[in-house]
């Protein structure tokens, strides 16, 4: 094992320990790992930050922001109330929610439809 491999394994071990420890948020740990990888020379800065421009990363970030905005604006409360009133049993609620996600997936990204209605599903589960 050469020095570069040892550095990478040490960074991965540090990340795993920090994730298991759970005192720091996972996004901070991930950014620390990224910066440590660049500063140690294991990864070039171009390689390290090229993933942020990937369409999947941008899509997930945008959907999470949109989902949070809808949650804060209480628009999802209307959907929750409608699903709760139309479906009495948990099986029917799950089927109704799945059907709504299927309909939305016909017009938008599947991940986006799921992320938009995930807060409704979590609230229904409670």
Domain boundaries, the chain: 3-51, 55-125
Whether the full predicted model's pTM is greater than 0.85, yes or no, is: no
CB 111 within 8 A of CB 67: no
- pLDDT band per the 50, 70, 90 thresholds, residue 55: confident
Residue 74 has pLDDT above 90, yes or no: no
DSSP track, 61-121: HHHHHHHHHHHHTTHHHHHHHHHHHH--SHHHHHHHHHHHHHHHHTTS-HHHHHHHHHHHH
């Amino acid at each position: 094992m050469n020095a570069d491999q040892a550095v990478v394994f040490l960074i991965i071990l540090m990340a795993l320990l920090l994730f298991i420890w759970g005192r720091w948020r996972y996004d901070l740990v991930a950014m620390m790992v990224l910066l440590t990888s660049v500063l140690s020379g294991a990864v070039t800065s171009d390689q390290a930050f090229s993933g942020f421009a990937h369409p999947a990363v941008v899509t997930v970030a945008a959907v999470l922001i949109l989902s949070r905005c809808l949650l804060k604006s209480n628009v999802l409360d209307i959907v929750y109330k409608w699903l709760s009133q139309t479906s009495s049993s948990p099986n029917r609620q799950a089927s109704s929610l799945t059907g709504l996600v299927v309909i939305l997936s016909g017009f938008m990204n599947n991940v986006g439809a799921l992320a938009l209605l995930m807060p409704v599903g979590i609230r229904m589960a409670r």
